[in-house]
Structures are given as structure tokens and as C-alpha cells.
Amino acid sequence: MTAEATRDAAPGPLAGTAADGGRPLRIALLTYKGNPFCGGQGVYVRHLSRELARLGHRVEVIGAQPYPVLDAPGADGEDRWAGETTLTGLPSLDLYRQPDPFRTPRLGEYRDWIDVLEVATMRTGGFPEPLTFSLRARRLLAARRGDFDVVHDNQTLGYGLLGLERLGLPLVTTVHHPITVDRRLELAAAADWRKRASVRRWYGFTRMQKRVARRLPRILTVSGSSRREITEHLGVRPERVHVVHIGADTRLFSPDPAVPEIPGRIVTTSSADVPLKGLVHLVEALAKVRAEYPDAHLVVVGGRPGKGPVADALERYGLGGAVEFVKGISDRELADLVRGAQVACVPSLYEGFSLPAAEAMATGTPLVATTGGAIPEVAGPDGETCLAVPPADAGALAAALGRLLGDAALRARLGAAGRERVLRRFTWEQAARGTVEHYRTAIGNAGRAGHDENGSAAARRAPVTG
């Protein structure tokens, strides 16, 4: 799958009217990582591209490994969409792929100087993909500048994306949350100076992201909490940062009385064993809960860590048989897993939005969530749409989980209120419509800037008379 595969058949301008009332747009949606089963970026690309196509727009997703998975018309029972989605692969050297992460490429795999830069950065302990993807994306976009009305970058924030407006390509960038937050939390959890040095090398790309973010004309983010973090951590002027909430696929994540409730089941999503996700605190809370509710057990959507804080906690509390890790399941299986739980839990220390919270609430499953980052914006008030607890507080988590496990009426009330909140505020259709408004503003601003520039140039060339 290569960029060249679609270049010769590039589509022309679209005719007609989109569902939002304007002309259909040709959108280049960039994502340097697109895995829809691990982390939020691939989920964002998949659902946003689908809803943009439903509105009548043409979306070309340009991504590197792991490649995004895009929905096709009819996948959810609909006959067709007014627009379309396509995927163009822009391959990296895929240096972190399983089962051979940090691999050494064969000499024949090198294609150009960007590949050399990618390997060199990896070998010195850094993470190269945001920079190298941005350089490859710029090269592709420069060659195909007439094929798109707007470019939407999904948190690459690489040097290669600067100045796209001069190529006639208005740019909108989504920042889910500043990666500097992850860096700070991992440094705080580092056991010694060697680990701290390793963390600093790995997150060296955040310096580039800060510089790039400050020069971008329009940044979208998913919550008010993330907006504050972007202005504080990245130094972006507040008027350049705009909130467009994302949401759950409420067609898929919905209540289903046919799915039996499993007594004692608690479900959570943790894509990686990192301090940010707070899974170790949930494991400790489970140990406390089982003293009163022996059938309480945890299902984690994510891989089982072989070592680290979570693995140590499982062994320390003897919970090997009470915690199950599942991965590689389908969306429908995930929805059924959440529907069958008595409680869903988001134990994160920080989230820029929290899709797992919105998806759990959409199924009508009652939620226990921390107040880290933007989670309260999604989960809502304590006691009304969820039970809210402080981050990193295993005792408070245990108390809230036990309260819900022991009170069926409370579970029913919070579950119904949570779904109603998601339907009102957090759907992907609403996210797509809000995003298109910013596309049109960016296109309009770029047109005015070009007009002003041409007018100024004409004025400079005009002869002086009188």
C-alpha cells in the first residue's frame, strides 16, 4: 500500500451540496499512527472519516503503520453514503512492529534520507515517527496539491507540515492532549536516573511539537481541559484553539436487554501499562472490593503486561484468576463485553477526553471514573451520571465500585442518565459537523489571505501617477 497507488486516479472537485449546506469538500486526513484497537488516534480517524463521508464529503486518509481501519458503506446496515472514504498508505520503516520492535532494517529497505533519519533517531533512543511522517506527508501533498480542499492533521505536529498554506492547502490540526502530559507522568513514575534519562530521550519529539503548535493557524481539541493544557504546555494562543467534542458510536454502543449481566463483572480499557492509565490503582481497588464481594472480577480490554507495576500488583494481591485481559476483539464483541458488566471503570490519572467513558455510558452501563483531566466533562456530575473519585486513590475507587455492585437501583439510574448525556452531547455526527465548520473557516481564511497577498502584490506593481 503506497501513496503512488492513488495518485494517478486523483478525484476532481465535488459537485452538489453536503448535508451541512455547503459544497462537498475533498479532505486529506493525516494520521502517523492509525491502529483502531490501541489508543485513541485510530479510533478518531475511523469514526470521524465515516461521519464526514455520511455528510457528503470525500475523505482520503493518509496514514502509516499500523494502518487505520476504515468503515465501508453498508458496514452498519446503511445502503450508501453521500461521500466516500479511501486509504492511502504512506509507509514508514515500521521500526516498532511486533514481534520485533526496535528492529534493524535490511539495507534494501532504505529508500531515501528520511528512512536514514528514522533509524538514526530510533538508535539514539528517540521516537522519530511524528517528524518522519510529516516529511513524507509534505512531499505527497506538494505533489498532489490540487487534489484537496483542506488538510486535517491528527496530532502529528511535525516540521514537515509547516507552511502548507503557501502550497494552497489550508491546515487544521487536532491535538487530543499534549504529549507533554504523558512525559511528565512517566518522569514522575521513573524508578531511577537511568529510567528518567530514557524517558527524556524518548519524548524528545515533544520539543518539535511545541514549536510547531505555536505556528499553526487553527487547532482543534476534544475538551476544555485539553484546551487549557494546550495553551499552558504548548504555549499556543487561546484564540487559536477550538473545542470540538468527540463521542461514542451510539448505533453500536447501545443498551441490549438480550445481553445478560454478569454478576461482579467490572470492565475497563487500558491500551498500555503506563502510569497515565491508572490501571495499577484499579487492581489494588479490586483486591479491597473482593473482601466484601468475592465474585468481583475485572476484565481489561488490552494486553496483559509481562512485567511492570500492574504485573507486580497482580502477583502481590493474588489476583491472577480475578483479572482477565482481552485484546483483538471486534467492536460488537467489545460492546457486548461492556453491556454485560455491572460496572465500567475509567481509573486514568489523566485523559484528554475518554472514549471508553462515553462508550460505556452509551450502553447504559454505570460508570465509576476519576476526575483526571477531561473525564468529568464526559462523565458528568458525581451521583448524577457517574460516581466520580480522585485520581490515584485506590481506596476511593474501591468504595465507589462496592457501592455500585451492591445497589441495583443506583446502577440502573446512573446507567440511564449516562446514556442520555452521551446522546445529547457526544456523538460522532455532532463531531463531524463541528469539524466541517472549522474546515470551511480555514478555507475561507486561506482564500482571504491569498486575495490580500495578490492585491498587495498588484498594488506594489501599479505605476505611481499624479
CB 63 within 8 Å of CB 32: yes
Whole-number Å distance between alpha carbons of 33 and 65 = 6
Q: Let me know if residue 459 belongs to a domain.
A: no
Whole-number Å distance between alpha carbons of 399 and 11 = 57
Look up cell 477550538; give the residue: 242
Q: What is the pLDDT along the chain (466 residues), one digit of tens a residue?
A: 444 444 444 566 777 788 888 899 999 999 998 876 555 788 899 999 999 999 999 999 999 999 998 988 766 555 567 789 999 999 999 999 888 889 999 999 999 999 999 999 999 999 999 999 999 999 999 999 999 999 999 999 999 999 999 999 999 999 998 888 888 888 888 889 988 999 899 999 999 999 999 999 999 999 999 999 999 999 999 999 999 999 899 999 999 999 999 999 999 998 767 788 999 999 999 999 999 999 999 999 998 888 889 999 999 999 989 999 998 898 899 999 999 999 999 999 999 899 999 999 999 999 999 999 999 999 999 999 999 999 999 999 999 999 999 999 999 999 999 999 999 999 999 999 999 999 999 999 987 776 555 554 444 444 443 3
Same domain, 19 and 54: yes
Q: Let me know if residue 464 belongs to a domain.
A: no
Same domain, 330 and 436: no
Same domain, 190 and 335: no
Same domain, 333 and 373: yes
pTM summary value: 0.85
CB 157 within 8 Å of CB 133: no
Q: Let me know if residue 466 belongs to a domain.
A: no
Q: Let me know if residue 90 belongs to a domain.
A: yes
Beta strand residue intervals within 224-366, DSSP E: 241-243, 265-269, 297-301, 323-326, 343-346
Same domain, 156 and 284: no
CB 451 within 8 Å of CB 401: no
Q: Let me know if residue 29 belongs to a domain.
A: yes
Structural domain including 372 reads 265-425
Q: What is the per-residue pLDDT for 206?
A: 93
Which letter does DSSP use for residue 140 in this model?
A: H
Same domain, 199 and 305: no
Whole-number Å distance between alpha carbons of 417 and 384 = 7
CB-count exposure of residue 160 (10 Å: 0-12, 13-18, 19+): buried
Beta strand residue intervals within 329-463, DSSP E: 343-346, 367-370, 387-389
Same domain, 62 and 192: yes
Whole-number Å distance between alpha carbons of 199 and 201 = 5
Q: Let me know if residue 441 belongs to a domain.
A: yes
Beta strand 343-346 pairing with 265-269: parallel
DSSP characters for 104-141? ---GGG--SHHHHHHHHHHHTT---HHHHHHHHHHHHH
- The domain total for the chain is 2
Q: Let me know if residue 133 belongs to a domain.
A: yes
Same domain, 243 and 284: no
Whole-number Å distance between alpha carbons of 156 and 35 = 15
CB 408 within 8 Å of CB 223: no
Dihedral angle sign, alpha carbons of residues 340, 43, 434, 56 = negative
Cα radius of gyration rounded to whole Å, the chain: 23
Same domain, 135 and 215: yes
Same domain, 226 and 279: no
The CATH number assigned to the domain holding 308 equals 3.40.50.2000
Same domain, 130 and 179: yes
Same domain, 222 and 301: no
Whole-number Å distance between alpha carbons of 49 and 41 = 12
Q: What is the pLDDT of residues 44-65, one digit of tens each?
A: 999 999 999 999 999 999 999 9
Look up cell 451520571; give the residue: 385
DSSP characters for 427-459? BHHHHHHHHHHHHHHHHHHHHHHHHHHHHHHHH
| Cell numbers that stand for 193 in this block | 536516573
Q: Let me know if residue 252 belongs to a domain.
A: no
